[in-house]
Amino acid sequence: MRVRPLTIDGAWEFTPVQHGDDRGVFLEAFKADLLAETIGHRFDLAQVNTSVSAAGVLRGIHFADVPPGQAKYVTCTVGAILDVIVDIRVGSPTFGQWDAVLLDDGDRKAVYLSEGLGHGFCSLQDGSTVTYLCSTGYDPTAEHGVNPLDADLAIDWPRVGRDGGPLEYELSAKDTAAPSLAQARADGLLPGV
């Protein structure tokens, strides 16, 4: 498995080696020892989430209170998404910046993001299935969001899907109502470094 650090400190891309023949493909999608070596500590798996999204669905930018925060190891097993990691840590040299990785059922990459980072994605085809390995369980009282269309973040969301057709963004009511990064900072919702 190849590991590449992203431009946001605390985030990495993992690309598995795929072994294929006439029967199909085999790969190691997650290796605890490699992840621990990369991030400098053991990843404690507390919950596994799966979401299935239509083309154009935007999910995020989500994050959890720190402590304890929620680290995630994310992959797309069916379809394709543009996965986006946002540095929302006040005081970080890359605060307000983002990086993106195409996760799909071709390269079968995954991303890891540390506690305190924001996460979101745009589905590029109907039925895109995303699996998240999470370091802590879901706690609705500790979950927050930043609007993924915040003009100050200026995330370059895809405009066309995997089939080449135009994407129409669809957000949940919660994500639509989420504050801008500046408002979340003013409200004291964001973690520090």
Q: Which of 142, 124, 151 is nearest to 63 (CA)?
A: 142
- CA separation for the pair 70, 107 (Å, rounded): 25
Cα 108–Cα 53–Cα 145 angle in degrees, nearest 5: 95
H-type alpha helices, 10-164? 32-39
Query: Do 59 and 175 meet the contact criterion of CB atoms below 8 Å apart?
Result: yes
Task: Specify which residues 57 forms β-bridges with.
Answer: 170
- Helix then strand count (H, E) for the chain reads 3, 13
What is the amino acid identity at position 72? K
Cite the active site residues.
62, 132
15: left (phi over 0), alpha (psi -120 to 50) or beta: beta
Q: Which of 184, 74, 64, 81 is nearest to 125 (CA)?
A: 81
7: tokens are 């431009």
